[in-house]
Chains A and B, each alone.
Chain A
């Protein structure tokens, strides 16, 4: 299975990645090879196999419903490029 340049560009746009024309060509080749490999799986009988979403068989951890964090605003806002009156300041959004 192969993937075309338009799809690569679309995925890059959705992921907010800037790609050069040379990179598009590179990724078309690489992604097509990955998909070809995946296609091999389609030829195997997997009806009786439970779909795997995680490589490591682990149980999910659950925590009790307790508030443990206090106000950390100053420290967290200090990491932001721009802040204003206790808020993160970002470029104007439409709507």
Chain B
């Protein structure tokens, strides 16, 4: 579809654009992976038949009382610790009042003045500003999710499904520290990796368990005050977040360049049209008439409780990536890719450990196979590492076979393919199919002798100083051995023979 009047970048517009700085803050709503809802004992399972997971509490019948789910509190604390935040020992629930049919109480139980976590941060590698840029996290607060409204195909009415009502959410609010759509993407990837590592959220943006709203404004470089911001909603993938931000930045700059003003509003992103449209004017905060939730006393945590959770923290992505760099001599990039999920990191470590147990500890090669051949295969099949066709020991043994010279890289790829399709032990596969790389000097010498006898002119040229001929001769020896000869050994023996 068209860019809705947004022209492509010409020279003059390009320079206008360069005068502006983009300022982005992200609000992430992460559904916590508790079994039951935050204030009642209804299931939080996704995809159940409409209204089969509701009770008088989450459906907001008169006279009911909410009782806080301990696990939701634990998860919020863990997330706060993971982002280096301050966990408040005293926090409070508040009512956020608004009317909408999928909010049966007429208010959302949230946290307002005293959220459970404040002043955190995470670090991203920015495409523009380089490695290790700090992105502040203002707060994390707990709140209830709303229900779902259905409109399509329903004549003269809307339907409401309250299954989701009362599912525990963490709202994670960043500082306006992000400066590009690329940084927003990196921030979301990092945050999602963290909540997944912690097991507090599945991070599924398509199913809506990890949702993101983006506050976007632009200002001239050097301005000390922020421009008027717009809030973007309906961003159900990281790609859409980035595209919506790019669109919004273009829209605002174009507006300002034409002498117009940005109006503070909420805009709904339409991924199919690649554009956004205004949804509603942003209500002022006091329109929600927050007040302390009378049904829930303040939440007081003990320092011991927080400390116990700190003790039990798993190794998080940044720490793991740093360890991978040191322990396995991996590049920052490789370590980052391998630690993007806990499952992938564990898989890689199992591959490397198996190869090492066979006496071949080149973890760089293990990393290359996991991020290269295997990742391509998983990507092609659209599956995660958990559904890998290969067990770590299979790939580990394959890597060991390459390192010990039994398989060439080319043969290893063939064995890899066979293992993916039929399973099996890479060593047996290679042996059964005669795919063993020939590292036997005698056999290679025989092939070399035959080649040297067949191409006396080339041999003479080489000896006369035409080093280029070497490549041709190596190729002929490889051909004579049906590509099975160990290329390094062929090189070495050929040089020796030619020097005689």
Judge whether B99 and A16 touch: CB under 8 Å.
yes
Known contacts A59-B300, A65-B70, A87-B159; is-contact A14 B55 (Cβ 8 Å): no
Binds A, one of B33-41, B435-443, B468-476: B33-41
B188-196, B288-296, B398-406, B418-426 - interface stretch: B288-296
Chain A residues closer than 8 Å to B161, beta-carbon distance: 87-88
Q: Is A63 an interface residue (CB 8 A)?
A: yes
The answer on a CB contact under 8 Å between B158 and A66 is no
| B412 is an interface residue with CB less than 8 A from chain A | no
B69 in the interface (beta carbon within 8 A): yes
Query: What are the interface flags for B301-342 relative to A under an 8 Å C-beta threshold, 1 for contact and 0 otherwise?
Result: 000000000000000000000000000000000000000000
Q: Who on chain A is nearest to B299 by CB?
A: A60
Bound complex: CA A69 to CA B162 (Å): 14
Do residues A72 and B55 form an inter-chain contact, with CB atoms below 8 A?
Answer: yes
- Nearest-Cβ distance from residue A56 to partner chain B, whole angstroms: 8
- Check: A43 CB closer than 8 A to any chain B CB: no
A35 vs chain B, min Cβ distance (A): 15
Task: Give the A-B pair count, Cβ closer than 8 A.
Answer: 125
Contact, CB under 8 Å: B157 / A62: no
In the assembled complex, the CB of A6 is this many whole angstroms from the nearest CB of chain B, namely 15
Q: Which residue of B lies closest to A50 (CB)?
A: B90
A84-B157, A87-B160, A88-B162 given; A66·B61 CB < 8 A? no
The residue that B68 contacts in the complex, of A11, A61, A76, A92, with Cβ under 8 A, is A61
Check A62–B41 contact: CB distance below 8 A: no
B157 touches A76 (CB 8 A): no
Question: Judging by beta carbons under 8 Å apart, are B150 and A87 in contact?
Answer: yes
Contacts of A82 in B (CB 8 A): 157
In the complex, A20 has a CB within 8 A of chain B: no
* B447 part of interface (Cβ distance < 8 Å): no
Interface code A71-87, partner B: CB below 8 Å = 1, 0 otherwise? 11100110100101111
Tell me, yes or no, whether A47 is within 8 Å of chain B by CB: no
Residues of the B chain whose Cβ atoms lie less than 8 Å from the Cβ of A73: 49-52, 54
Choice from B43, B61, B154, B157 contacting A79 with Cβ under 8 Å:
B61
> Would you call B51 and A67 a contact (CB within 8 A)?
no
Closest-by-CB residue of B relative to A52 is B292
Q: Is the CB of A69 within 8 A of B158?
A: no
Q: What is the CA–CA distance of A60 and B150 in the complex, to the nearest angstrom?
A: 36
Let me know if B61 and A84 touch, CB within 8 A. Answer: no
Kindly state the separation between the CA atoms of A59 and B428 in the bound complex, as whole angstroms: 65
Question: Which residues of chain B are within 8 angstroms of A95 by Cβ–Cβ distance?
Answer: 151, 268, 279
Instruction: Tell me whether A62 and B55 are in contact (CB under 8 A).
Output: no
Q: Is the CB of A54 within 8 A of B297?
A: yes
Given contacts A54-B292, A88-B162, contact A67 B35 (CB under 8 A): yes
Whether A89 lies near B51 (C-beta < 8 A) is no
Bound-state Cα–Cα, A54 to B100, Å? 27
A28 to chain B, nearest CB (A): 18
A71/B289 in contact, CB under 8 A: no
**A10 to chain B: closest residue by CB:** B287
Residues of B within 8 A of A16 (CB): 99
Question: Are the C-beta atoms of A71 and B68 separated by less than 8 Å?
Answer: no
How far is A15 from B41 in the complex, measured between Cα atoms in Å?
Answer: 30
In the docked arrangement, what's the CA distance between A54 and B53, Å? 31
Within 8 Å of chain B (Cβ to Cβ): is A53?
A: yes
B54:A72 contact, CB within 8 angstroms: yes
Which residue from B41, B56, B268, B289 sits with its C-beta under 8 Å from A67? B41
**A91 and B150 alpha carbons, distance in the complex (Å):** 11
Q: For residues 88 through 114 of chain B, which have their beta carbon under 8 Å from a beta carbon of chain A?
A: 92, 97, 99-101
Tell me, yes or no, whether A64 is within 8 Å of chain B by CB.
yes
| CA of A95 to CA of B160, assembled, Å | 14
- Min Cβ gap B282→A in Å is 15
Q: Is the pair A60, B68 in contact by a Cβ cutoff of 8 Å?
A: yes
With A76-B51, A86-B50 as known contacts, state yes or no: A69 contacts B41, CB within 8 Å. Answer: yes
Partner of A69, one of B40, B101, B159: B40
Q: How far is the CA of A95 from the CA of B69 in the complex (A)?
A: 33
Nearest chain A CB to B407's CB is how many angstroms away? Answer: 50
| Interface contact B92-A93, CB-CB below 8 Å | no
| 1/0 contact string of A31-72 vs chain B (CB within 8 Å) | 000000000000000000000011010111111111111011
Complex alpha-carbon distance, A68 and B161, angstroms: 20
Is B42 in contact with chain A by the CB < 8 A criterion? yes
Residue from B49, B50, B51, B73 having most chain A Cβ neighbours under 10 A: B51
A88–B299 touching, CB < 8 Å: no
Query: Residue of B at shortest CB range from A75?
Result: B56
> Shortest Cβ distance from B50 into chain A, in angstroms?
5
* A68: nearest chain-B partner, CB-CB: B41
| A71: nearest chain-B partner, CB-CB | B52
Q: Known contacts A68-B36, A93-B151: does B292 contact A53 (CB below 8 Å)?
A: yes
Q: Which residue of A lies closest to B157 (CB)?
A: A89
Whether B59 sits at the interface, judged by CB under 8 Å, is yes
**Complex partner residue of B36 from A66, A77, A88, CB under 8 angstroms:** A66
Least CB separation from B57: chain A residue: A69
What is the CA–CA distance of A60 and B299 in the complex, to the nearest angstrom?
6
Say whether B259 faces chain A, with CB atoms less than 8 Å apart. no
Take A54-B292, A73-B54, A89-B157 as given contacts and tell me if A62 and B69 are in contact as well, using a CB distance cutoff of 8 Å: yes
User: For residue A63, which residue of chain B has the nearest CB?
Assistant: B67
Instruction: Please name 6 further chain A to chain B contacts, defined as beta carbons within 8 Å, in addition to the given A73-B50, A88-B160, sorted by A numbering.
Output: A62-B67, A72-B55, A79-B61, A84-B157, A87-B50, A93-B149
A residues near B (Cβ < 8 Å) are 11, 14-16, 53-54, 56, 58-69, 71-73, 76-77, 79, 82, 84-93, 95
